[in-house]
Structure 1
Amino acid sequence: MDKTVRVAAVQAEPAWFDLAAGVDKVVDLIGQAAARGAQLVGFGETFVPGYPWWIWLDSPAAGMQFVPRYAANSMTRDGAEMDRIRRAAAQHRIHVVLGFSERAGGSLYMAQAFISDTGELIAVRRKLKPTHVERSVYGEGDGSDLQVHDTTLGKLGGLNCWEHFQPLTKYAMYSLGEQIHVASWPSFSVYRSAAQALGPTVNTAASLMYAVEGQTFVVAPCSTVGRAGQELFCDTDTKKQLLRTGGGFARIYGPEGSELATPLAEDEEGLLFADLDPALIAIAKSAADPVGHYSRPDVFRLLVNRNPAPRVVETSAEQVTTLPAHHDDESLTAPMSPV
């Protein structure tokens, strides 16, 4: 990162469970961000087709009514919808980090797509560990989903939501030299009066601490819940109290902890903009670099497996090994007991 970069963070309500309308909204917001000079725009967690709030409001059995529609409107990484978003990025010459529910076979994943300003799909990463009841909807990522990419803007990475509460995940990301980080959040709408860990105070603090710990700029897009969302998920007054409208707390932070954009009201849709001066990274790292001069590798080191974990691995006959005819371990050579 050798020059100032203008970025935008989206704060908007998704087009709930409507893939075509969701892509329309993404393309429109890409154009809005580019029109105001942004070189990068970030979207919230599972912005397409929206976050599955039913999982926090009722039983798994009751939530099954939403599952077929949600799966059908989740996006693949190589389909026509992704191609359209890539074309919009190329048309407007802007980098995009998009949170979406990825459909792969019969499974869904909480994904982030990294798209360059030429429309190249740089990568798609998946949330390593869906949080709490999210595991009833989504599968897990693997070590290959710890990614930082060399782009024309600088070293760009991202994580979803409560991945920012996983210390080892964060340290692994810091070690890759991130300069711009996209922290994608859904909305801070649920259990606002009962669970502070799900609310804006704790979660905006997580974005801020990521910036300060990693000495990286953090672009933190955050979705909202409007009347459309509440009508979709809340068929009782109790659910309306559990899932509040609003919840938009998009932020942009500097690597030394400065707040670089004026927040919107939590129920307001729009874009936050900030100009990222790379000099701030040098200033922050001179004080504390946890993977450099402020580390103690003689005391602490992190072991990371960055390899993908495929479900099926093909092998050839030549690769199949057998035990030798004679082995010192009698347990391996003794006859099997009858079943």
Structure 2
Amino acid sequence: MSTSRPPFLAAVVQASPIYLDIDATVDKTIDLIGEAARGGAKLIAFPETWIPGYPYWAWLDSQAWAFQWVQRYVENSFVVGSEHDLKIRRAARDNDIHVVLGYSERDAGSLYIGQMLINNSGSLIAARRKLKPTHVERTVFGEGDGSDLKVHDTELGRLGALSCWEHFQPLTRFAMYSQNEQIHVGSWPSASLYGNHAYALGAELNTAASRTYAAEGGCFVLAAWMPISSEIIELLADTPAKRDLLLPGGGVSRIFGPDGADIASPLAEDEEGILYATIDLSAIAIAKAAADPAGHYARSDVTRLLFNPSRQRPVHSFGPAPDGELVDTDQGFADFEDVPPLEQLA
């Protein structure tokens, strides 16, 4: 695990999207990328389902009531390899910045909670999916697989990402730690959903999860949250009961060092802006000298993780090999075979 890379400035977005409007939110995304780059950042992190916004409507009433939002949400969800994708990758290239983007991914007839990792040349590092949507999220989104639990080498360091309550899955965390993760992006929605009705969804517990991830994994954690805007409440909360569940604010973005300490000044929960902090990978050596969870602090003779990192497909196509045997023609395909090449960024 190299710690020889120079320190760099990282940025974490705390903002609301232009809700259920992919075109306007992509424009806002590009503006925020430019703002962070002008501030000197080499990495910017966005919240969960930043495009086109989190489906709060799934939590507010019956599924029969929620169906009214489905078509609009699907139509405004993000397609990997689309023109929206290329616009954001161009912005990463033009601003010389790495981007970790949260979005609702549309793939054929299904949606997934996605995160895209883009390097400063505009190339796609990875497009991952949340392994297990949480509670009523499962009425909206499908699941990822083991191929989505991957840490990637970049010029900044070893970069990984998870969404929301993936940070509460102990084996998922351990799978990431075991890959020598140095910089972790946690993408979250708002901490004000359900207000005081569900402590488990609130700011205190979920901020603690990000802090614990940093200290447990011995890595830097960029936790990006998005406040609920008055426009979202006006659109979705059509009764007093819903307004009691969907409260304004809930932006609790943070940046933690590998010892779990805050290294950026937080914004107010209803404030939009960007947090900045210097990432110095040399601090990881000090943190891991005390406890390296997948190294000297592990006890593999007592507990071990069984991890299947392969991609799973519902359909495998077979064709004839030269000797007449049938072979799986899907084997060996790249993860992003349908993503337009970098030349199309021009």
- Partner SS state of residue 304, structure 2: coil
Counterpart for residue 289 of structure 2: 286
Q: 2:167 aligns with which of 160, 164, 168?
A: 164
- Supply the distance in 1 between the matched residues of 2:325 and 2:160 (Cα, whole angstroms): 37
Counterpart for residue 140 of structure 2: 137
Counterpart for residue 207 of structure 2: 204
Q: 1:222 aligns with which of 225, 242, 265?
A: 225
Contact 1:109 1:139 in 2 (8 A): yes
- Supply the distance in 2 between the matched residues of 1:175 and 1:48 (Cα, whole angstroms): 30
- Supply the distance in 2 between the matched residues of 1:62 and 1:192 (Cα, whole angstroms): 21
Q: 1:33 aligns with which of 25, 32, 36?
A: 36
- Partner SS state of residue 41, structure 2: coil
Contact 2:228 2:248 in 1 (8 A): yes
Q: 1:154 aligns with which of 113, 134, 157?
A: 157
Give the superposition deviation at 1:241. Answer: 1.0
Q: Which amino acid aligns with 2:133?
A: P
- Partner SS state of residue 22, structure 1: helix
Give the superposition deviation at 1:319. Answer: 4.7
The one-character-per-residue Cα deviations of 1:19-53 (angstroms, maximum 9, x if unpaired) are: 10010010000011001000000000000000000
Aligned length: 321
Deviates more, 1:245-254 or 1:2-11: 2-11
The one-character-per-residue Cα deviations of 1:109-136 (angstroms, maximum 9, x if unpaired) are: 0000000001001110000000000000
TM-score by length of 2: 0.91
- Partner SS state of residue 244, structure 2: helix
User: Residues 93-112 of structure 1 correspond to what in structure 2 (within 5 A)?
Assistant: 93-112=96-115
The one-character-per-residue Cα deviations of 1:187-226 (angstroms, maximum 9, x if unpaired) are: 1111121211000000000000000110000000101111
Structure exhibiting the larger radius of gyration computed from Cα positions: 1
Identity, in percent, stands at: 55
Counterpart for residue 77 of structure 1: 80
Q: Which amino acid aligns with 2:83?
A: A
- Supply the distance in 2 between the matched residues of 1:102 and 1:31 (Cα, whole angstroms): 23
Counterpart for residue 295 of structure 1: 298
Counterpart for residue 335 of structure 2: none
Counterpart for residue 330 of structure 1: none
Contact 1:49 1:74 in 2 (8 A): yes
Counterpart for residue 14 of structure 1: 17
- Partner SS state of residue 316, structure 1: strand
Give the superposition deviation at 1:316. Answer: 3.3
Q: Which amino acid aligns with 1:124?
A: A
- Supply the distance in 1 between the matched residues of 2:325 and 2:14 (Cα, whole angstroms): 52
| C-alpha RMSD of the superposition | 1.1
Counterpart for residue 236 of structure 2: 233
- Partner SS state of residue 311, structure 2: coil
- Supply the distance in 2 between the matched residues of 1:85 and 1:144 (Cα, whole angstroms): 24
The one-character-per-residue Cα deviations of 1:261-304 (angstroms, maximum 9, x if unpaired) are: 01000000000000012121011000000100000011111110
TM-score by length of 1: 0.93
- Supply the distance in 2 between the matched residues of 1:174 and 1:211 (Cα, whole angstroms): 10
Give the superposition deviation at 1:257. Answer: 1.1
Give the superposition deviation at 1:258. Answer: 1.0
The one-character-per-residue Cα deviations of 1:37-88 (angstroms, maximum 9, x if unpaired) are: 0000000000000000001101111000000000000010100000000000
- Supply the distance in 1 between the matched residues of 2:45 and 2:142 (Cα, whole angstroms): 23
The one-character-per-residue Cα deviations of 1:216-239 (angstroms, maximum 9, x if unpaired) are: 000001011111110111001111
User: Gaps spanning 5+ residues in structure 1: where?
Assistant: 322-339
Contact 1:149 1:156 in 2 (8 A): yes
Counterpart for residue 247 of structure 1: 250
Counterpart for residue 116 of structure 2: 113
Counterpart for residue 306 of structure 1: 309
- Is 1:263 the equivalent of 2:284? no
Q: 2:318 aligns with which of 315, 318, 322?
A: 315
- Supply the distance in 2 between the matched residues of 1:104 and 1:228 (Cα, whole angstroms): 28
- Partner SS state of residue 311, structure 1: coil
Give the superposition deviation at 1:147. Answer: 1.3
Contact 1:14 1:224 in 2 (8 A): no
Contact 1:183 1:207 in 2 (8 A): yes
Give the superposition deviation at 1:89. Answer: 0.5
Q: Which amino acid aligns with 1:36?
A: G
- Supply the distance in 2 between the matched residues of 1:35 and 1:237 (Cα, whole angstroms): 43
- Supply the distance in 2 between the matched residues of 1:76 and 1:175 (Cα, whole angstroms): 30
- Supply the distance in 1 between the matched residues of 2:110 and 2:80 (Cα, whole angstroms): 13
- Supply the distance in 2 between the matched residues of 1:236 and 1:96 (Cα, whole angstroms): 38
Counterpart for residue 7 of structure 2: 4
